[in-house]
Structure 1
Amino acid sequence: MAVCDGLKGLLEAINGTWPQTVVQTCIVHLLRHTFRYVPSQHWPKLAEALKPVYTAPAEAAALERWCEVADTWGSRYPAIVRLWENAWSEFVPFLAFDIEIRKVICSTNAIESVNARIRRAVRARGPFPNEQAALKCVYLALMSLDPTGSGQARWGRRWKHALGAFDLAFDGRLTRHHH
């Protein structure tokens, strides 16, 4: 499973390398892009209208809710209709998953935050004399994200249910190699 933020060509690159991958669009990015086309005074009403789409129990229900959103908002903001229709095939895999999986795959924000911290550390250091020095810089940046180690316990609590749901959804592929 890969969660992407809509970067052009990423879907094709992932599926070309790993054909079994389920590619899911980042729900947070999709919503963010949606609100770009709408003046801020309409954000609360549009957010209220979109929530039943991305929290729907299945694709059929999401499509019904989406048609209501498109009917209500489409004439005023046709760009949001085009955005969602173009993203639909990468949006719907999300709906087939258990709620525990949905919680952890709805956004790429966590990994983007880690990437930003690594970039900042690398930029502050400048050129590296060798690969080992660069890897050490990245390692230290990652370790500084959780200096006390308490995040590991939080991670375990947050992911425990999701890992079980992933194992069921992907028919044991997650744990098959660990026995």
Structure 2
Amino acid sequence: MKKEDLLNDDFLKQFRTAGELNSFLQQLQKRAVEKMLEGELDAHLGYEKHQNSDNPNSRNGYSTKTIKNTFGEAEIRVPRDRDGSFEPALVPKRRSMAEGVENVIISMYAKGMSNQDIEEQIRELYDINVSSSTISRVTGAVAEDIVAWRNRL
């Protein structure tokens, strides 16, 4: 079955409100992220879940993490390994915001919006609260590049 066939009219008719669609997309993204994290751990360990291996490192349950993404907040299960060497690339340790939201923050900042305006826009657009300090951290990482770009002429 093609991916395009999954999104047929009958499927799409079940969503009666934007809230229902957003809820579905949030759950879909949550499940997709969790599956991709499982794949990352498989690659890290060198074997898939439920396979036997000579690798002394093995799966060691899950930790939970709340991430902020373009559909709001989602609590995901992040797989762990026994020796603690697994560093997920998709959702890095000590980060709670998806790259897409960070890109939106950087874009708004590049257009001259204040941290407070960005905070309000993110809350209105994605229904998530992002602190001013988080916005400063995200924008600070690229501030020099943005200033150079603005002054390029």
Give the structure-2-normalised TM-score. 0.29
- Larger relative contact order, structure 1 or 2 (CA cutoff 8 Å, min sep 6): 1
Determine which structure has the larger strand proportion and give its number.
2
